[in-house]
């Protein structure tokens, strides 16, 4: 019997959003709703499996893990790319690696949920109303303010257009952003991250994590932001120096933060971020929507079926 492990399926969604019965009867699908951070425990769990379906980058697959999984023949990641998989090491061991399609709007929509939640103190006022209280905060207006986007790719563009609908002036920066690309979206290109941070009332991050972007916003950069400004990160946690951000929020040097991503996920129980009223926290929900999961798990089943049939599988994006 061929065995398939579906990892980090926190809501047991795989069975709901795809028809696994399309695979041969000799296939067994096992869903795991917990996350294993320990490599030894992960190897012990996956040793009997021929196929692994990974949910985005929740569980890394470096060479040291792949070399200890002799039965693994196919590794499917949801989404089109996954920086936490050592694709070269997999190829050396004859492990096929493939991805799935995606549904782009989810992360952009969550970005604006976080912007609004921080700007209008939604979580704080919700808790106050439930406790029998009434009106403690004064909200921040978005119309007429400046939205600063670090990154103007597919997600950044979606966020920009929503910002324009809120009547915000939009400015963007990335290392490779050109005036022509900015003009296509109807935004201004900042000359530097410093220029963007000094001007923006809302800063939203839409960059890929790389050696160049890791720690991009540290204590110095956060210190350039207005004390009334909001930072939102739905990209990757390590782009922001988490300790510096905690300090800025504690000291009130920025007004608040909306965070969907963290240095360590799931967020450790004793993380100081949990204690900060100026922060709105969500558990990496950007892509966690019904339509996204329909695409992810439908395509994952298609990938397994193609691999079993000896047909080409969906190749990961570079």
Catalytic residue among 56, 58, 189, 284: 284
Burial call 148-185: b when 16+ CB within 10 Å, e when fewer:
bbbbbeebbbbbbebbeebebbbbbbbeebeeebbeeb
Is residue 270 annotated as part of the catalytic site, yes or no? Answer: no
Catalytic pick among 56, 158, 189, 236: 236
Residues β-bridged to residue 3: 28
Phi-psi region of 144 (alpha: psi -120 to 50; beta: other; left: phi over 0): left
List residues bridging with 1 in a β-sheet: none
- Describe the strand order of the beta sheet including 74-77 as a list of residue ranges: 27-31, 2-6, 51-54, 74-77, 96-98
CA distance 137 to 114: 17
Integer Cα distance of 180 and 60 in angstroms = 37
Q: Is 157 a catalytic residue?
A: no
Of the candidates 213, 225, 147, the one whose C-alpha atom is nearest the C-alpha of residue 186 is 147
Q: Within 13 Å of residue 163, how many CA atoms lie on the same side as its CB?
A: 30
Q: In the block, which residue shows the tokens 């204590």?
A: 219
Q: Is 265 a catalytic residue?
A: yes
Annotated catalytic residue: which of 265, 278, 294, 298?
Answer: 265
Q: Is 63 helix (H, G, I), strand (E, B) or coil?
A: helix
Question: Which positions are catalytic?
Answer: 236, 265, 284
């Amino acid at each position: 019997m061929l065995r398939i492990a579906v990892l980090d399926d926190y809501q047991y969604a795989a069975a709901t959003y795809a028809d696994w019965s399309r695979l041969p009867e000799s296939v067994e699908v096992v869903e795991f709703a917990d996350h294993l951070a320990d490599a030894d425990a992960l190897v012990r769990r996956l040793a009997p499996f021929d196929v692994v379906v990974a949910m985005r980058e929740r569980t890394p697959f470096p060479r040291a893990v792949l070399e200890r999984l002799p039965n693994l023949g196919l590794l499917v990641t949801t989404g089109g790319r996954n920086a936490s998989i050592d694709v070269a090491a997999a190829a050396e061991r004859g492990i096929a690696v493939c991805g799935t399609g995606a549904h782009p709007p989810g992360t952009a929509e969550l970005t604006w949920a976080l912007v609004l939640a921080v700007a209008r103190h939604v979580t704080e006022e919700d808790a106050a109303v439930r406790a029998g209280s009434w009106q403690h905060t004064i909200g921040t207006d978005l119309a007429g303010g400046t939205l600063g986007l670090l990154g103007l790719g597919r997600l950044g563009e979606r966020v920009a257009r929503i910002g324009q609908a809120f009547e915000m002036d939009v400015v963007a920066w990335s290392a490779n952003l050109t005036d022509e690309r900015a003009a296509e979206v109807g935004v201004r290109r900042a000359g530097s991250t410093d220029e963007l941070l000094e001007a923006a009332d809302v800063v939203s991050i839409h960059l890929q994590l790389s050696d160049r972007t890791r720690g991009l916003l540290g204590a110095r950069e956060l210190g350039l932001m207005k004390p009334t400004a909001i930072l939102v990160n739905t990209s990757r946690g390590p782009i922001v120096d988490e300790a510096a951000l905690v300090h800025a929020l504690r000291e009130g040097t920025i007004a608040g933060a909306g965070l969907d991503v963290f240095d360590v996920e799931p967020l450790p129980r004793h993380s100081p971020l949990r204690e900060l009223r100026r922060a709105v926290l969500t558990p990496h929900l950007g892509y966690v929507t019904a339509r996204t999961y329909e695409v992810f798990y439908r395509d994952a089943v298609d990938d397994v079926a193609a691999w079993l049939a000896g047909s080409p599988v969906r190749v990961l994006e570079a």
